[in-house]
Amino acid sequence: MEYENILLEQVEPGIYQLTINRPRSFNSLNSATLDEIYAAGESLANSADARVLLVTGAGEKAFVAGADIPEMKDKTALEGQAFSQKGMRAFRRLETLAIPVIAVVNGYCLGGGCELAMSCDWIIASEKALFGQPEVNLGVTPGFGASQRLPRLVGRAKAMELLVTGRQIKAAEAAEWGLVNHVYAADELMEKALETARLICTKGPVAVNLVKQAVQRGQDIDLENACLLESEVFGLCFSTDDQKEGMGAFLEKRSAAFKCR
């Protein structure tokens, strides 16, 4: 597929990068961009060599500054709902990829941008990054999942504070809250992301995919059933070449040579 609003490229073996590429509008999310994000997710889901996805924004000023306000301004209630559902569908497509998805936040990460970042498996940020859900300033609620993902990440009270005040927080505070995993200098951010992606690429790909599935499926069920789920995926690993290679390499005191699926 030809993209106009995003870039999707393989930057190293196994490592893909999705870049929201609308820097003149601070990478704001319009309908076309959301459609392309979904299409990119579909493409990656069908890629046999994809091991990790990095999601970032073009330019130095913004990851994504929010949804496209000029497009939203005159929507009817039904049109607004459809726009929300389009964003939900796009972000859920990234969230449910079998591979780890890392948000690499390099500037403003507000509204729909923060929602995009939260749909990734974790967030790393530049020290210049700024996070927030300012939708109440515009007289609307979040529409792409913040009211649901943010409490799950930082707890109900902190989420409510951001959601109802529209307050923006810097990367260091976001890390203290548990929204961001790591904060780096701006000129180190992408290399740190690549270091993590390279490390993941040395691990058993089936095990990586299955542990992500176990975390995602287990977090919203009771502990007893979640532990049963873990036992199921653990047992499944023993039917894979990855398990035989990984344990064989350990016993032979050599590095494992895992193969892509």
* CA-based nearest residue to 18, from 45, 34, 37: 37
What's the pTM value of the predicted model, to 2 decimals? 0.95
Catalytic residue among 2, 4, 12, 115: 115
Active-site choice (127, 135, 232, 252): 135
pLDDT at residue 166 tops 80: yes
Q: What is the pLDDT of residues 126-138, one digit of tens each?
A: 999 999 999 999 9
Residue 115 designated active-site? yes
pLDDT at 261 over 80: no
Q: pLDDT at position 3, please?
A: 96
Q: Reply yes or no on whether the pLDDT at 178 is more than 90.
A: yes
Give the pLDDT confidence score for residue 190 in this predicted structure. 98
Domains of the chain: 6-201 (3.90.226.10), 205-251 (1.10.12.10)
- So what's the pLDDT on residue 260? 65
238 vs 192: CA distance, rounded Å: 32
User: Is 176 one of the catalytic residues?
Assistant: no
Mean confidence (pLDDT) of the chain: 96
CB 206 within 8 A of CB 261: yes
